[in-house]
Amino acid sequence: MQVGERIRFDHNTELNELIDTLAEFSETAEGERDGVTRLLYSEPWKAAQNFLARTMREAGLSVRFDKVGNLIGRLEGSDPSSPVILTGSHIDTVRNGGKLDGAYGIIGGIAALRALKETYGTPVHPLEVVSFCEEEGSRFPIAYWGSGNMTGQFDWRGGQMVRDSEGVSLHAAMETSGFGREDQIDSVRSDLGAFVELHIEQGVILERMAKQIGIVEAIVGQRRYSVTLRGEANHAGTTPMNMRTDALAGAAELIVRLEQLATRAAALVATAGRLQAAPNIPNVIPGVVEFSLDIRHDNERTLSWFCDYLFQEYEDIANRRGLALEVTPWLATTPVPMSRPLTERIEQICGRLSLNHRRMFSGAGHDAQLFAGLCPTAMIFVPSKAGISHSPEEFTAPEQLADGVSVLTALLHELAYEEHER
């Protein structure tokens, strides 16, 4: 199978035009600097999904929405009951996000399906591209609402207790938006043969290593904690150094130690991203400090071991300083390996297309991680300029975006146009 190479996207393709058009469906219309804000079930979100539905139809796909508002474009296969080859990503964004996170994987998928249909006609397997309604958790404190409903982790009847900052429940917002009706197509799928997600890296690795394509071997597991240190708030001038229990000095030692240990542990990342000190006044010794921990690794045992070891050290440090330590976990996900056969196929495709490539982990979570237990799943990354994402400055060069779509197209061709075992 080397026909895939015949389809090669370049920076002149309509890809960038579509990405720019889609970016206009945003809450703020004050120009580039504000980036894209497209929250689940909002007006710009609805308009964006409708725009994509039209784009899918123009690409020759049949279009449907499911119960939670996932949008699916389908290129029927010659064997319509054979496992579906699915690609896509999410349409929602963080507040003031970029125009590529999520959007690129949908538009790339539509471009791939159109090109495959135009070049090769009807595939054996049905080919579908999905625009997941939600992945970011930006409006409601829940993430993966789209892929979670498709893979059975979530039930569309739920979401009554999950509310946005204005008190609107997820379920109510869904209904207002025209979804969540009994007569609509069920989200959950049992007909999938593979899922492939094309996404920007959102990191600096590909750029720094001068690679065009990242092949994801696993999506890291994550642990998030809230760490609280309690000492005594006291006068900064009248309390000698040896009579202090300074919560911020203690937190500083814990953060330095976190960095030391994480730097030693290969491929692990650990971040204290948020810190609040109280009373937070220049001339008062901080009495209470709370900070967040975000720890990620691709191996569950390493991740667990690291956290156990870290918190043992944290306890020792807090005890030595006379500070009360409280560690509250609030998120724990296990690493998700991608399909090895698909990973190898992508590697071969990159070789044939002469694209510099690199196997890597995804340090961020993605819709793909919900499919990995259900069907062979793969992710293709393209570089992110300076690693910047979730920001209006998010950028990938047009030719790099085109390269990613070329790889996706070749993989979908292999998967959908060949007869596969059932």
Q: How far is the CB of 402 from a copy of itself (least distance, A)?
A: 22
**Single residue of 63, 124, 269, 332 touching a copy of itself by CB under 8 A:** 269
273 binds a copy of itself (CB under 8 A): yes
Q: Quick one: which segment of 32-40, 140-148, 173-181, 281-289 binds a copy of itself (CB under 8 A)?
A: 281-289
| Binding residue (CB under 8 A) for a copy of itself from 99, 223, 357, 390 | 390
Q: Nearest approach, Cβ of 202 to a copy of itself (angstroms)?
A: 5
Residues in contact with a copy of itself, shown as a per-residue x/- string from 170 to 209 under the rule CB under 8 A: -------------------------------xxxxx--x-
Binding to a copy of itself, residues 229-258 (CB under 8 A): 232, 234-243, 246, 248-249, 251-256, 258
Angstrom distance (rounded) from CA 73 to CA 117: 13
Structure tokens that stand for 287 in this block: 């009495």
Shortest Å distance, C-beta 313 to a copy of itself: 14
Q: At what angle do helices 15-23 and 103-120 cross, to 10 degrees?
A: 140
Mask for 319-358, x = binds a copy of itself (CB under 8 A):
----------------------------------------
1 binds a copy of itself (CB under 8 A): no
DSSP 366-397: -THHHHTTTS-EEEEEE--GGG--SSTT----
Least Cα distance to 58 among 107, 8, 95, 94 occurs for: 107
Q: Which element (helix H / strand E) includes 75?
A: strand 71-75
Task: Tell which residue, 139, 203, 256, 233, has the closest CA to residue 365.
Answer: 203
Among 386, 395, 398, 399, binds a copy of itself (CB under 8 A): 386
| Residue 380 within binding range of a copy of itself, rule CB under 8 A | no
CA distances from 352 to 256, 358, 375 (A): 45, 14, 26
The rounded distance, in Å, linking the Cα atoms of 364 and 296 is: 9
Of residues 3 and 209, the one with the C-beta less far from a copy of itself: 209
Beta strands in 185-310 (DSSP E): 192-200, 213-219, 221-230, 234-235, 269-271, 275-278, 284-285, 288-297
| Phi, psi of 285, deg, nearest 5 | -65, 125
Q: Which amino acid is at 287?
A: G
Q: Name the binding residues for allantoate.
A: 224, 283, 296
Tell me which residues touch a copy of itself (CB under 8 A).
201-205, 208, 220, 222, 224, 232, 234-243, 246, 248-249, 251-256, 258-259, 262-263, 267-275, 277, 280-286, 292-294, 296, 362-365, 386-390
